[in-house]
Amino acid sequence: MSHAKALRDLLKAPGVIVAPGMYDAFTSLMIEQHGFKCAYLGGASISYTRIAQPDIGLTSVSEVAQVVSHIRERISIPFIVDADTGFGNALNTQRSVKLLERMGASGIQLEDQTYPKRCGHLAGKSLVSKEEMVGKLKAAVDARADKNTVIVGRTDAIAVEGFDKAVDRAHAYVEAGADVLFIEAPQTIEQMQTLGKMFAGKAPLLANMVEGGKTPLKSAKELGDLGFKVVIFPGAMVRVLAYAANEYLNILQSDGSTARMRDRMFDFGQVNGILGLDDIMAAGQKYDHNLALAADKTKS
């Protein structure tokens, strides 16, 4: 079964899909090893970690594709990739969909901001017309090599045009072929309840949990009760690791040692355990005589 088909099956199955955010192959591997059935690759996390820039549309489709390729090499679970605006017009969108699908994306998210875009929880966003976004979504659907690849249609219209216009756009995006709806940054529980009721049975809804963002933070169960099917935590991994790195650097600067951090870090062997070093080396021994000899000496 393809990873895209696996994502479609998750969307049809009971329960809420919790998709932690990742930003590279290592964080994706940890997500898979913790038993999550789906993951999410956000553009913000790529921008933060690859170029140390805020999410204001500075990354390119080739940079995103490279990250997707590295992740797919290491994990088998499905994951959704944030393709921003498709990196241009409808033809750019088609090229982006083909590239990201080929690199290993199971779902591809497209939004209706102008290009370059900015984070959905930042002020000052602007949108393309509803008609242009409909065209992009139709282009994306036509570009898929695998009919199971999930197209996520996102609208940022709540902050720009208001809630009613966002709902109008969302209906149009479903008609254009979006498999999942991502109505970004509802600001109240009442808005979230309305969306859940309005699109029940029409399209699965995706909720975006951003610590410090505009949308009320709720648990996956609470969001499921509100009518949401997919819950992403796109930037939490970066924020957790940035917090830990800041603490580590402060201690190293003051102490000149990592001793006070030892109980809050994995050691050398533990990290290699996550990476599966023993299994990788064992596999290599089948093909490399020198590795096999080195392993025998280690055992003796």
Tens of pLDDT along 59-108?
999 999 999 999 999 999 999 999 999 999 999 999 999 999 999 999 99
Q: What six digits make up the tokens of 281?
A: 């080396």
Q: Omega of the bond prior to 116 within 30 degrees of 0, cis?
A: yes
The strand ranges marked E within the chain are 17-22, 39-41, 79-82, 107-111, 150-155, 180-183, 205-208, 230-233
Could you give the 3-state DSSP secondary structure of residue 189? helix
Q: Which two tokens stand for residue 64?
A: 């995103």
| Eight-class DSSP state of 16 | P
Instruction: Determine the Cα–Cα distance for residues 67 and 44; give it in Å rounded to an integer.
Output: 13
Question: What's the half-sphere exposure (Cβ side, CA atoms, 13 Å) at 253?
Answer: 6
| pTM score of the predicted model | 0.94
Residue 298 has what pLDDT?
67
Taking a C-beta distance cutoff of 8 angstroms, is the pair 192, 186 a contact?
Answer: yes
How many angstroms separate the CA atoms of 242 and 251, rounded? 14
User: 203-213 pLDDT, tens per residue?
Assistant: 999 999 999 99
Region of 86 please: left (phi>0), alpha (psi -120 to 50) or beta: left
Domain with CATH 3.20.20.60 in the chain: 3-234
Task: Write down how long the chain is.
Answer: 300
What stretches in the chain show pLDDT beneath 50?
Answer: none
What's at 31, amino acid-wise? Answer: I
CATH fold of 3-234, please?
A: TIM Barrel (3.20.20)
Q: How many CB atoms lie within 10 A of CB 138?
A: 17
In sequence order, which residues have a C-beta less than 8 Å from that of residue 61 and are 6 or more positions away?
83, 87, 92, 95, 96, 99, 100
Specify the pLDDT at position 286. Answer: 84
CA dihedral 172, 176, 179, 183 (to 10 degrees): -30
- Specify the 3-state DSSP secondary structure of 130: helix
pLDDT at residue 117 in the model: 86
| Residue 238 CB partners (closer than 8 Å, separation 6+) | 21, 23, 44, 45, 48, 49
Residue 63 burial (C-beta neighbours within 10 Å; 0-12, 13-18, 19+): middle
What is the DSSP code (8-state) at residue 18? E
